[in-house]
Structure 1
Amino acid sequence: MSSLNILSGGAAQGLVTSLTPAFKAFTGFDIAGEFGAVGVMADKLRQSTPADIVILTAALLAKLAQEKLAVSASITDVGLVETALAVRTGDPPASVRDAAELREVLLSADAIFVPDTGTSTAGIHVAKVLRQLGIAEQVAGRLRIFPNGATAMRELAASKAQRPIGCTQSTEIISTKGVDLSGSLPTGCELATMYTAGITTTAVHPRQAQYLIELLTGAGQGEQRTRAGFIGGRS
């Protein structure tokens, strides 16, 4: 059976997975490819990894369009994704109201699970927030860094630490069994990132790619986007 090849930020994996049955029923195509840190996915496209569609941050996809790797006219907003806190299912919630409370929560954790701090949207932001709070050096030894948010959350779920916490994009928290979304980052430390979808200039299956974009962004899928953790988008 034919497959649509995708390169996507991990933030969209849960939504894509939920829409895969409808996509396959209409097109007869499976969805194959990779989900991971957006910087890594963009570099894979630059290195000629086969892809029909990419789902990345708006800024990164715009750059790929400038590089003639994505079709500008096809780029469509999927929705905003917040970077948020996560706890193991069953652990006390760690919602915070301000930067001081966030600082306290992070300092009290004995393990902090995050995605790659150099290539992932949430990981880069976490590193920035730790510096902003003045605790980067204090918690450096407690950071548990993984290639992407989904892996970080699976490791958080399995952690034997006494007081672990995670920080990644809300969509990755929601889609991982064994962890719970525990609140957004407070004002001054928050991040909401627009994710967009676009067809690559080397797409072998552009028509099927366009259909997936319509599924991801259509008004009929507003409830699924919300359940997956996306904010806004087409309604």
Structure 2
Amino acid sequence: MNSLNLVSGGAAHGLVASVAAIFREQTGFEISGEFGAVGFMADKLRAGAPADLVILTRALVAKLAEENLVIAGSIRDVGMVETALAVRAGDAKLSVSNADDLRNALLAADAIYVPDTKTSTAGLHVASVLDRLGIAVAVGSRLKIYPNGATAMRHLAACDAARPLGCTQSTEIIATLGVELSGSLPRGYDLATTYTGAITVQSVHAMAAQALIDLLTATEAAALRAQAGFLNVEA
């Protein structure tokens, strides 16, 4: 069976998985996807990794279009994803409504599971939030940093820490067994990132790539997007 090569941010992994069977039935293609920190994924495309389609942040896709690596006319928004807090399944969820609540929650955690703080959307944001809260040094030794949010959440699920906490994109939390979405970051420290699909210039299966974009963004797929953690894109 033919395979469609997808390079994507980890935020879209759960959504893509939810439509894979439908896509295979409609097109005869399997989805061969690689998911990870968006900066790393963009650099893989720049380095020549085979890909028919990318799903990355809107800003990164726009940059790739400027670099003539994706087809500008194929660009379409999939949805917005919030960076959120996660707890291990069975642990008490947190009530975080302001900066003080967030600071106290992070200081109380004995292990904080996050994605790459240099190449991932959520990881970069976590690093910024810690700086703004003035606790980057205080919690630095407790940070458990992994290549992407999905890996960080799997380790959170399996950890034996007394008071662990996670922070990554809500879609990665929802898609991981053993962790639960605890809530959004408070106003002023929140982040909602728009993810966008585009066909690559090098695509050898452009029609199938377009079919996947159509499927992911269809009105009929609204419930699947919501279930995966995607919000409607603000006008």
**TM-score bin, normalised by smaller chain:** over 0.9
**TM alignment of 1:1-235, pairs within 5 A:** 1-233=1-233
- Deviation string 1:115-160 (CA, Å, 9 cap, x unpaired) is 0000000000000000000000000000000000000000000010
Separation of aligned partners in 2, 1:88 and 1:143: 16
What TM-score results when the alignment is normalised by the length of structure 1? 0.99
Separation of aligned partners in 1, 2:21 and 2:79: 21
Amino acid in the other structure paired with 1:137: V
Separation of aligned partners in 2, 1:41 and 1:33: 11
Q: CA RMSD in A?
A: 0.8
Give the C-alpha shift of residue 233 in structure 1: 4.3
Separation of aligned partners in 1, 2:43 and 2:150: 19
What TM-score results when the alignment is normalised by the length of structure 2? 0.99
CA contact (8 A) 1:95 1:184 kept: no
Separation of aligned partners in 1, 2:82 and 2:195: 11
Secondary structure of the equivalent of 1:34? Answer: strand
Q: Which stretches in structure 1 are left out of the alignment for 5+ residues?
A: none
Give the C-alpha shift of residue 94 in structure 1: 1.3
Amino acid in the other structure paired with 1:222: A
Secondary structure of the equivalent of 1:144? Answer: strand
Separation of aligned partners in 2, 1:14 and 1:33: 11
Give the C-alpha shift of residue 66 in structure 1: 0.3
Greater alpha carbon shift after TM alignment, 24-33 vs 151-160: 24-33
Give the C-alpha shift of residue 91 in structure 1: 0.1
Percent identity over paired residues? 63
Secondary structure of the equivalent of 1:24? Answer: helix
Aligned residues: 234
Amino acid in the other structure paired with 1:52: D
Give the C-alpha shift of residue 33 in structure 1: 2.8
Give the C-alpha shift of residue 95 in structure 1: 2.9
